[in-house]
Amino acid sequence: MSNVINKRYEFVALFDVENGNPNGDPDSGNMPRIDPETGRGIVTDVCIKRKIRNYVDLVKDKAAGFEIYVKDGAILNLQHQRAYDHLKINNSTEAEKKAIAKDKESQKKLTKFMCDNFYDIRTFGAVMSTQVNCGTVRGPVQINFARSIDPIFQQEVGITRLAVTKEGEEKKTEMGRKHIVPYGLYKVEGYVSAELAKRTTGFTEADLELLWQAIINMFEHDHSAARGKMATRKLIVFEHESSLGNAPSHLLFDKVKVECVNSPARSISDYEIQIDKTPVEGVSIIEKL
């Protein structure tokens, strides 16, 4: 693909939740995820990538080159088979499948087809070495777990339902539980590698702009009873002049300071966000939001 990115980037995004559950933990009855040592809330990288995928899928609506590989109801082997069908590679027998898995040229073509057609593979990479083998590719965009700035309060709220499930129980009131965080401001950090984009997936400038757009808007079409009021509040991008980068990522991340100025925090206005704009040679700081 043309216009593959040629600069390294890092980014910091701040997002918040009010009276919602940003990422339930199935091992804890779907309570909001938490670091037990610090009490700070956690949102996994998988959860954030899911929001990005959903936004791209909504905006691009299966446009050529912007399909989504990992999505609800997708059968991955059938996604892989499309590459075989397009390239007219026969994989109907076990012997053929084994031969293809060992053929580097065939694997390269299959992987390229998947990268060219699926935005999330081009962005995050994918392990496609299943029964219908399209190889493994490491994506140029990687995202850390998000952590809340302060410890969160996991609140369990009792709810009732007027309607009942079964006939004959009309006089009963059904009860339920709902898990929320009254308020939490979360920080997530990420990386964009131009070298991986060039060598593996072909992640382009257009893909990059779509990524920024998706991070800014990833909660706008994700509202639900559990995640009613969530929003991206800040997106800071560090743009390097070279593909290899001009400064260590951790030093750039340290330039973003967030401090609670009114405790307990119940809105973004209870925090002060400071960005150290002292020049770093070869790095530009861009506030996308």
Per-residue pLDDT of the chain (289 residues; tens, 9 = 90+): 469 999 999 999 999 999 999 999 999 889 999 999 999 999 999 999 999 999 999 999 989 999 999 998 889 999 999 999 999 999 888 888 889 888 899 999 999 999 999 999 999 999 999 889 999 999 999 999 999 999 999 888 888 877 777 777 666 677 778 899 999 999 999 999 999 999 999 999 999 999 999 999 999 999 888 887 999 999 999 999 999 999 999 999 999 999 999 999 999 999 999 999 999 999 999 999 9
Residue 2: its pLDDT value, please? 65
Residue 226 lies in a domain: yes
Candidates 165, 186, 185, 188; CA nearest to 175 is: 165
Residue 150 lies in a domain: yes
Which residue's entry shows tokens 């990420």? 190
Candidates 226, 235, 249; CA nearest to 13 is: 235
Q: How many domains does the chain have?
A: 1
Residue 13 lies in a domain: yes
- The rounded radius of gyration (Å) of the Cα atoms in the chain is 22
3-state secondary structure of 78: helix
Candidates 184, 137, 144; CA nearest to 40 is: 184
Element containing residue 10 per DSSP (H, E)? strand 9-20
Residue 171: its pLDDT value, please? 65
Residue 1 lies in a domain: no
> Exposed, middle or buried, 256 (CB in 10 Å: 0-12/13-18/19+)?
buried
Rounded to whole angstroms, what are the CA distances from 5 to 106, 112, 207? Answer: 26, 17, 9
Residue 197: its pLDDT value, please? 97
Question: What is d(CA 121, CA 108) in angstroms, rounded to the nearest whole number?
Answer: 14
Which tokens belong to 155? 């609140």
Residue 198 lies in a domain: yes
Question: What is d(CA 32, CA 55) in angstroms, rounded to the nearest whole number?
Answer: 23
Question: What is d(CA 99, CA 271) in angstroms, rounded to the nearest whole number?
Answer: 58
Q: Which residue segment(s) compose the domain that 64 sits in?
A: 9-287
Residue 101: its pLDDT value, please? 86
Which residue's entry shows tokens 């499930």? 165
**Could you count the other beta carbons within 10 Å of the beta carbon of residue 221?**
12
Residue 151: its pLDDT value, please? 96
**Longest distance between any two alpha carbons in the chain, whole Å:** 74
Residues 6+ apart with CB under 8 A from 153: 181, 182, 264
Candidates 116, 135, 136; CA nearest to 2 is: 116
Question: What is d(CA 184, CA 40) in angstroms, rounded to the nearest whole number?
Answer: 9
Element containing residue 160 per DSSP (H, E)? strand 155-161
Question: Using omega within 30 degrees of 0 as the cis cutoff, is the peptide bond preceding 264 cis?
Answer: yes
Residue 3 lies in a domain: no
Residue 169: its pLDDT value, please? 66
- DSSP calls for 218-268: TTTT---SSSSEEEEEEEEEEEESSSS-SS-HHHHHTTEEEEESSSS--SG
